[in-house]
Amino acid sequence: MLDLQEIDAFTGLEDVRQKVVSGERLSREDGIRLYKSNNLLALGYMANLVRERLNGSRTYFVKNYYLNYSNICELDCKFCSFYRKEGQEGAFLMSLDDIFKTVESDKDNITEMHMVGGLHNSLPYEYYLNLLRGIKKIDPRIHIKAFTAVEIDFFARLYGLSVEKVLLDLKDAGLDAMPGGGAEIFSDRVRAKMFADKIGADQWIGVIKTAHRLGIPSNATMLYGHMETIEERVDHLIRLREVQDETKGFFAFIPLAYHPHIEDSTQWATGVDNLKSIAVSRLMLDNFPHIKAYWISMGPKVAQISLGFGADDLDGTVRDERVFRMAGASTETALTKRQLVKLIKDAGRIPIERDALYNTLESFA
C-alpha cells in the first residue's frame, strides 16, 4: 500500500527529483533506483515534468498502416511468434500487386506506412526497391517508415552490398525513415539465450548511426518483460542516449512490452511495469524528443494512463499489425482517429494529428 506522505516526500528519490527539476542528466544508478522504486506516482510526477517541459500537453498520433509484407524468416528467435519457415502453415508473403492494391484503396487514410518483415532469403533486392517506388508512385505524400536495422544488415549480407549502399538505394527508392525494432535488449547474456543468431547491439547501433548520417531518421525500441534485469534495461537506455548525443537522429523511443507465447511462461510485462518503463525512459532519455506509448502492446487503456507518466505519443490507427497479434495480443486491431482523440482528451491532453516528422496536421485543442 502506498503511503501518501511517502509520495509527497519522494522518499528515497528526493535527490533524483532535484536533478529532474534542474534539468540535470540522470546517472545509471539513478535509473536503477527509479526502476526499483515502488513509488509509481513519484515516478510519474517526475516524468511528467520532463514531458511537459518538452511537449507541453500536446499528444501526438498519426494515421498509419502497419504492413508486414512477409513473416518468412531464416531466423528463429525464441521470443518471436511471428516468424514461419517457407511452406509452413501460416507463412505468408504479400505480392507487390496486393500491397499496391491495399495502399491504393486506402490512401486517403494513410499518412504513414510502417513496414517490417521477416528475413526472407530468396526474395530479390528489387522486391524491396519496387515496394518503395510503387507506394510513392501511388501517393508521394505517404511517408514510408520501413525495415529495421536487422533487415538492413540482412539485405547487405544477402545481396553482397555495404550497409551504406543498401540504405542509399532504399532512400533513393522512397525510404523516409526507419522504425526502431530489432534492438530487443542490448544484453549479450539475453541475446545468447533468446536471439543468438540476430545481430547484437554493436551492429544494430552501427546500422542506425549510418542511417542517421545519411539523413534517414529512426525510432528506437526496447523489448522488456522477459528475462532481462533492471540493470540491463537501464544500460539499454544509456546506450541509446549516447547514440542520440552523437547523431540526434532518433524521433521517439518506444518501450515494447513482451507478450509471452509459451503457455507456462512466468514472465510478462504488467501494467505497473508498463507505466514504470514509460516513466523511466522519459527520465533517462533526456535527449529524445518523444516517448511513445504503443497501445498495441500495452493496451489502449494503459497507454492512455501513460500520458500522465511521460508519454506524449499514442502511435496511431495502426491497422493490420500482425507481429503482436500473432504473439497473442488481445487489444483492438485498429483504433479510429475519433477513438484516439477521445483517449487523449479524456486524459486531459491536447490531441495533435501529426505527420511522420511530427509536423502538426490538425490540432484538437
Q: Which is nearer to ligand SF4, 190 or 234 (CB)?
A: 190
Closest to 66 measured CA to CA, from 110, 121, 123, 107: 110
Q: How far is the CB of 149 from ligand SF4 (least distance, A)?
A: 11
Please answer whether residues 284 and 32 qualify as being in contact, where contact means their C-beta atoms are separated by less than 8 angstroms: no
Give the footprint of ligand SF4 on this chain (CB under 6 A).
73, 75-77, 80, 82-83, 118-119, 150, 195, 198
Point out which residues pair with 222 in neighbouring strands. 255
Q: Which is nearer to ligand SF4, 9 or 123 (CB)?
A: 123
- CA–CA separation, 335 and 59 (whole Å): 16
Q: Which is nearer to ligand SF4, 75 or 214 (CB)?
A: 75
Q: How far is the CB of 272 from ligand SF4 (least distance, A)?
A: 26
Please answer whether residues 143 and 103 qualify as being in contact, where contact means their C-beta atoms are separated by less than 8 angstroms: no
Q: How far is the CB of 78 from ligand SF4 (least distance, A)?
A: 9
Q: Which is nearer to ligand SF4, 35 or 83 (CB)?
A: 83
Q: Which is nearer to ligand SF4, 109 or 121 (CB)?
A: 121
Q: How far is the CB of 25 from ligand SF4 (least distance, A)?
A: 32
- CA–CA separation, 171 and 220 (whole Å): 19
Q: How far is the CB of 90 from ligand SF4 (least distance, A)?
A: 13
Amino acid at 115: M
Closest to 359 measured CA to CA, from 241, 205, 197, 251: 251
Q: Which is nearer to ligand SF4, 117 or 316 (CB)?
A: 117
- CA–CA separation, 291 and 183 (whole Å): 16
Nearest 10 degrees: Cα torsion 313, 25, 34, 244: 50
- CA–CA separation, 28 and 48 (whole Å): 20
Outline where DSSP puts E strands in the chain.
Answer: 58-62, 64-68, 112-116, 143-146, 218-224, 250-257, 290-291, 313-316, 350-354, 360-363
Ramachandran angles phi, psi of 282, nearest 5°: -60, -40
Please answer whether residues 352 and 57 qualify as being in contact, where contact means their C-beta atoms are separated by less than 8 angstroms: no
Q: Which is nearer to ligand SF4, 198 or 236 (CB)?
A: 198
Q: How far is the CB of 68 from ligand SF4 (least distance, A)?
A: 9
Q: Which is nearer to ligand SF4, 118 or 351 (CB)?
A: 118
Closest to 149 measured CA to CA, from 191, 203, 187, 189: 203
